[in-house]
Amino acid sequence: MLTQTDREKVAQDLYEADIGRYTIPQPSRTWPEMELEDAYAIQALWAEKRIAAGARVIGHKIGLTSRAMQKASKITEPDYGVMLDDALFHDGAVLRAERFVKPRLEVELAFVMGADLEGPGCEVHDVLRATEFVTPALEVIDYRTEVPRAITDTIADNAAFGAIVLGGRVVRPFDIDLRRVGATLSQNGIIEESGVSAAVMGHPAAGIAWLVRKLHAVGAGLKAGQIVLAGSFTRPIDIAPGDVAVADYGELGQIGISFAR
């Protein structure tokens, strides 16, 4: 475990790297005794600094929802981070490439909460009952530390969150079978990835139920109006300045974004 002073040091380093758009050495190499509890505490300290500087929390993201990614990271469960209002974009957005260090793009579904949700026994049906809308979303993931990264580095670095892009058709959670949402991800006119939402823990709401249980352990929960990114059902693709990306969700519509040079 780290001391509170060490946690503050890592959070400040990550905060400055985020503002300056550069990478720092992996905290796990400087502090090999760093544990998951430390990593989430550092993430919370980083978020406090961003909020103090004027940012507002709009929700949470869930990462590492696929079994393959968990094995690669040597963990047995997903991770989570916080989303802030200055990282929210919409279909058609032109994102400045300089905003990110090493951006990658993932295809997801976003859940918009219609009611507060908390508690240790949260299940998929509880998530669906508390969700007002589900909408297509893209997540830009980004790293503020050097690679290769330990899972503690990723969590401390806000679970690699870079930005969220919303678009497509908004549906209510019982209007469609959320396990069967398929999508393709094109980069500069070429389909690079495809997937189906059941790849997210069997049901995209399963990750949100997991998140609620994890937040309960630290005395928190989800609030009405918050957005939750449920986890990617495609592999991430690398993004470069000048790229145009389009995610096609079939009956749920499309999201298109570009990255300015």
The pLDDT score that the predictor gives to residue 80 is: 97
Query: Which residue ranges make up each domain of the chain?
Result: 57-260
Mean pLDDT across the stretch 236-252? 97
- Give residue for tokens 């823990």: 201
Say if residue 68's pLDDT is above 70: no
Three-state DSSP at 92 gives: coil
135: confidence class by pLDDT, cuts 50, 70, 90: very high
10 Å Cβ neighbour count for 18?
19
Say how far apart CA 5 and CA 16 lie, in whole Å.
Answer: 17
Residue with the two structure tokens 């330990």: 150
Residue 191 forms beta bridges with which residues? 186
Angle 155-220-173 (CA atoms, 0-180°, nearest 5)? 90
Look at the domain 57-260 and name its fold.
Fumarylacetoacetate hydrolase; domain 2 (3.90.850)
pLDDT band at 235; cut points 50, 70, 90: very high
Closest CA to 178 of 127, 212, 138: 127
184 bridge partner residues: 194, 248
Please give the model's pTM, rounded to 2 decimal places.
Answer: 0.96
Give the whole-number percent of the chain exceeding pLDDT 90: 94
Distance CA 81, CA 207 (A): 13
Phi, psi of 15 (to 5 degrees): -60, -45
- Which one-letter amino acid corresponds to residue 21? R
What confidence score (pLDDT) does residue 77 get? Answer: 85
Record the tokens describing residue 204, joined without a space: 């995209």
C-alpha distances out from residue 13 to 142, 146, 225, Å? 16, 13, 31
- Residue 72's pLDDT band (boundaries 50, 70, 90)? low
Provide the 3-class DSSP secondary structure of residue 163.
strand
CA atoms 161, 1, 206, 57: torsion sign = negative
Determine what percent of the chain is predicted with pLDDT higher than 70: 97
pLDDT band at 74 (very low <50, low <70, confident <90, very high): low
Predicted local confidence at residue 65, as pLDDT: 86
Quote the pLDDT of residue 64: 86
pLDDT at residue 30 above 80?
yes
Residue range 81-102, pLDDT digits in tens: 999 999 999 999 999 999 999 9
pLDDT (mean) for 154-170: 98
